[in-house]
């Protein structure tokens, strides 16, 4: 009986290069055209840069603070009517299991809020937190 060999054939065309193998002899430097070498650089003084910065209009976007997803969630949860999972999913872009994990891990355990849930007659469960922390 002969034994079957599962080894791959050692074809030098398909074999991976060994560690420390020589690389190609082509130079790795980037060639620069002769026109690029001769073009002078424009020097701009600091006062000119400051003057240019003053001319550009500043946007209001830099002044307004970005609300984090955690802040959005806590705002929704602190409303008197509370919020549903679907509303939290829409506000954050999270999936349902991520919203539930945030409620259990961050809101209840990490931040220590008392989370209450109510299921009114419309059938959608609504979650709400008290404004005071209760550990």
User: How confident is the model over 21-47, as pLDDT tens digits?
Assistant: 566 666 666 666 655 555 566 666 666
Strands (E), the chain: 83-84, 113-118, 126-133
In a domain, 128, yes or no: yes
In a domain, 111, yes or no: yes
Query: pLDDT tens digit string along 44-101?
Result: 666 666 565 555 455 544 555 688 999 999 999 999 999 999 999 999 999 999 999 9
Q: Is the dihedral of CA 15, 16, 21, 27 positive or negative?
A: positive
> 120 pLDDT band (50/70/90 cuts)?
confident
Residue 76 structural domain: 69-133
In a domain, 33, yes or no: no
How many distinct structural domains can be found in the chain? 1
């Amino acid at each position: 009986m002969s034994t079957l060999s599962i080894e791959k054939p050692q074809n030098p065309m398909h074999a991976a290069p060994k560690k420390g193998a020589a690389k190609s002899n082509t130079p790795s430097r980037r060639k620069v055209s002769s026109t690029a070498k001769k073009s002078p650089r424009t020097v701009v003084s600091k006062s000119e840069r400051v003057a240019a910065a003053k001319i550009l209009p500043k946007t209001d976007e830099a002044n307004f603070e970005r609300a984090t997803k955690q802040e959005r969630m806590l705002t929704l949860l602190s409303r008197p009517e509370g919020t549903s999972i679907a509303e939290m999913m829409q506000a954050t872009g999270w999936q349902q299991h991520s919203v539930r994990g945030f409620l259990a891990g961050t809101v209840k355990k990490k931040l220590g809020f008392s989370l209450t849930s109510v299921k009114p007659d419309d059938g959608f469960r609504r979650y709400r937190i008290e404004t005071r922390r209760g550990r």
